[in-house]
Structure 1
């Protein structure tokens, strides 16, 4: 029974890195090489959400340490984001993130055109590619 428990613990420990990093890395490379843009959206959305989750986890670590099932909850959430049966990352991005980004960019774009604002968004303009700027790739 002790060996079985050790095996289960080992598999549980390995599940996190495999599910959150190894499989998404592999799937991202496959997506880049495929002609479809659907899988590109899924994996870009995953990396955005995973980065956000990691940042929130770092900030909330003192609180999360008191929640004994946090690791299991995180594994289930990441499995939903990652697994191709669910495409959770694309769903969350489409449903929640994209709408807010479009609102923000619309406000940003509106301020940029305002004659009273000089130089305020130069850095944002510098790091944000213009339409058609990277079509040569």
Structure 2
């Protein structure tokens, strides 16, 4: 567990942070070296491709022993000054493949872009419609709760609950008389 955590941070550091800083330094130099800029652009193209493939194939790859360590070693191989693996992988594998299939890749990406846009619009519409419905349901619920609290305030101030049936009023024959009350007091004393 701890080794996996350390490996992840090292991949972040040596696979993304350090190369990003080196790319920044190359771009910001007063004297721009085209070869160095080309190298870092090739590096980021390879990293983007690896990241996309990794997201798709993560189910099949992540369980392999030392997967994180191999990935870290690959990232360092790509930019390490003595190996400069970026140029080798780009020139021997990536460039020939992409140039051979460039039109198919572009067509597929355009189709996916259009489908993705339609998908985003569809879900945006459904989410806003659902959100609006839920908002008005919540508003209606709170309004009904405030109506109940108004009724409870009326109950507290008047001493009765308006929704409860009224108590029966006794007839005058059922009222106790004062004479009866006085006779009870005499018997006690």
Q: Normalising to structure 2: TM-score of the pair? A: 0.47
1:25 equivalenced with 2:15 (yes/no): no
Distance 1:10 1:64, change over 3 A: closer
Distance 1:10 1:90, change over 3 A: same
Aligned 8 A contact 2:43 2:78 in 1: yes
Structure 1: unaligned runs, 5 residues or longer: 1-5, 109-119, 124-137
1:92 equivalenced with 2:89 (yes/no): yes
Over aligned residue pairs, what C-alpha RMSD do you find? 2.5
Residues 16-45 of structure 1 show CA distances to partners (whole Å, capped at 9, x for unaligned) of 111111111111111213421111111101
Distance 1:18 1:65, change over 3 A: same
Structure 2: unaligned runs, 5 residues or longer: 111-189
Question: Which of 27, 52, 55 matches 1:55?
Answer: 52
Structure 1 position 104, deviation (Å): 4.5
For 2:7 and 2:58, the matched residues in 1 are separated by 20
| Structure number with higher relative contact order (C-alpha < 8 Å, ≥ 6 residues apart) | 1
For 1:24 and 1:55, the matched residues in 2 are separated by 18
1:11-22 superposed matches below 5 A: 11-22=6-17
Distance 1:9 1:59, change over 3 A: closer
For 1:104 and 1:63, the matched residues in 2 are separated by 25
Aligned 8 A contact 2:4 2:68 in 1: no
For 2:15 and 2:37, the matched residues in 1 are separated by 17
Number of aligned residues: 102
Structure 1 position 91, deviation (Å): 1.9
Runs of 4+ residues over 6 Å off in structure 1 = none
Q: Normalising to structure 1: TM-score of the pair? A: 0.63
Out of 45-54 and 64-73, give the one that drifted further: 64-73
For 1:25 and 1:67, the matched residues in 2 are separated by 28
Q: What SS is found at the alignment partner of 1:84?
A: coil
